[in-house]
C-alpha cells in the first residue's frame, strides 16, 4: 500500500494514495450504513445521522463511504444534505451501486454499462454533487463481463464524473477480469482480525498491482469492540441477523471472544479502548488502505477518531497479529 507523507501547518501527516490515482486520503474514514440505512438497522434517526457526517467533516475524517443499498438511496440523500453546507473538496466521497429494485421491491444485481451509468447519475443527484471521488460496483452480477462494466465507469471518469474506480465483494479472479485494462483503483471487501481470508491471495495481488484495499466490517459485527467477555457472551433472540454470522455460532463464539479478551491488557497500556486498539492496528498494517468504521452517533465517531492518536509499537502490533494468526 502506497503511503505518502505530507507537511501541513508544520506537522507531518501520513496519507494513503488511492490506487494509481493522484487522490490521497487520511487513513481513517467513515462507513455510513447506519446513516439512513433503515433497511439494514432498526431505530435509526436521520438528524443524528446527519450530525455524524458533520462531526466527521469537522474532525478531518475525509473518506465518507456510502452506497445506494444503505436505505435504497436514503443514506446518499442525507449525506448530500450535509455536503451542501460544507466545502465539497474537503470530502473524499465514495458510493456504490449495482442493485436494481423492481416495482414489487425485488432486488437484483446489474453490472451492465447502461445501468451503472444510470446509477452514477442518480447518485450524483442524491448527493448534490457533480462528481464522485470513488464509485464502486457493489457486487458482481452473473452475466456482465467485468472489464466491460469497468469500461463504462472509465468513460464516466473521462467525462469528469468520477476520480477513481472500485469494485466490492469481487473474488480474485473477478478483480483480475475487471482490471484487464488497468482501470481499477480500489477493492472493498470484508476483512478484520477475525476474518482474514482476503490477505491470503487477494491483497498480495492488489499490492502488486497498486490497487488499494479498503476493508469493511472492521469490528466483525461488534465482536472486536471488546464489549463481550467469556463470562458475558452475547445472547440473541430468534430472528436476530447475527445468528446467521459464522463468527457468532456457538462452535466459534467462545474462542473468538477469548481472542478479543487478550487485547484488553494491550489496550490498557495505551489508555485506549479495544475498538481504538483494533483501528490503530489496521492503520499500522501496511497491506490495507483506508479503514471505514461505522458510527451511529457523533459520540461513537469521536471515539473512533481518537484511535488516530494510538501509536502502536512494533512489538504490540506483532503480538496482536499472533493472537489472530
Q: Roughly what angle, to the nearest 10 degrees, separates helices 113-127 and 74-83?
A: 50
The pLDDT of residue 42: 86
Using alpha carbons, select from 303, 305, 311 the residue that is nearest to residue 291.
305
Q: Which domains does the chain have, with CATH numbers?
A: 3-223+288-311 (3.20.20.100)
The residue annotated as part of the active site, out of 70, 191, 216, 248, is: 70
* DSSP class per residue in 67-87: -TTTTTTHHHHHHHHHHTTS-
Q: How far apart are CA 174 and CA 98, in angstroms?
A: 15
38 belongs to the catalytic site = no
Give every residue of the chain whose pLDDT is below 70, as ranges: 1-13, 236-242
295: nearest Cα among 77, 84, 75 = 75
DSSP line for 242-296: GGGSGGGSHHHHHHHHHHHHTHHHHHHHTT--HHHHHHHHHHH-TT---B--B-S
First to last CA, the chain: 21
Q: Would you state the pLDDT for residue 181?
A: 97
> Cα-flanking dihedrals φ and ψ of residue 99, to 5°?
-95, 125
Amino acid at each position: 500500500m502506497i503511503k505518502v507523507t505530507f507537511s501541513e501547518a508544520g506537522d507531518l501527516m501520513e496519507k494513503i494514495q488511492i490506487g494509481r490515482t493522484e487522490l490521497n486520503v487520511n487513513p481513517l474514514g467513515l462507513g455510513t450504513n447506519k446513516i439512513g440505512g433503515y433497511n439494514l438497522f432498526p431505530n435509526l434517526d436521520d438528524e443524528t445521522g446527519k450530525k455524524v457526517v458533520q462531526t466527521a467533516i469537522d474532525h478531518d475524517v475525509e473518506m465518507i463511504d456510502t452506497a445506494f443499498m444503505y436505505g435504497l438511496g436514503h443514506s446518499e440523500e442525507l449525506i448530500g444534505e450535509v455536503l451542501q453546507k460544507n466545502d465539497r473538496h474537503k470530502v473524499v466521497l465514495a458510493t456504490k451501486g449495482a442493485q436494481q429494485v423492481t416495482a414489487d421491491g425485488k432486488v437484483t444485481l446489474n453490472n451492465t454499462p447502461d445501468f451503472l451509468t444510470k446509477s452514477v447519475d442518480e447518485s450524483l443527484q442524491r448527493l448534490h454533487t457533480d462528481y464522485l471521488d470513488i464509485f464502486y460496483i457493489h457486487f458482481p452480477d452473473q452475466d456482465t463481463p467485468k472489464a466491460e462494466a469497468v469500461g463504462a465507469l472509465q468513460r464516466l471518469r473521462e467525462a469528469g464524473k468520477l476520480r477513481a474506480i472500485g469494485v466490492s465483494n469481487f473474488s480474485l479472479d473477478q478483480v483480475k477480469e475487471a482490471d484487464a485494462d488497468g482501470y481499477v483503483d480500489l477493492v472493498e471487501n470484508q476483512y478484520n482480525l477475525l476474518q482474514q481470508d482476503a490477505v491470503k491471495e487477494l491483497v498480495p495481488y492488489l499490492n502488486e498491482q497498486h490497487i488499494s484495499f479498503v476493508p469493511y466490517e472492521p469490528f466483525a459485527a461488534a465482536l472486536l469492540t471488546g464489549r463481550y467477555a467469556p463470562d458475558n457472551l452475547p445472547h440473541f433472540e430468534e430472528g436476530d441477523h447475527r445468528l446467521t454470522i459464522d463468527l457468532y455460532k456457538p462452535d466459534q463464539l467462545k474462542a473468538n471472544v477469548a481472542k478479543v479478551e487478550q487485547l484488553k491488557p494491550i489496550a490498557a497500556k495505551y489508555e485506549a479502548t479495544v475498538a481504538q486498539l483494533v483501528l490503530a492496528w489496521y492503520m499500522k498494517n501496511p497491506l490495507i488502505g483506508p479503514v471505514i468504521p461505522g458510527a451511529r452517533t457523533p459520540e461513537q465517531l469521536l471515539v473512533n477518531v481518537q484511535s488516530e492518536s494510538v501509536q502502536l509499537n512494533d512489538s504490540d502490533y506483532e503480538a496482536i497479529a499472533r493472537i489472530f494468526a
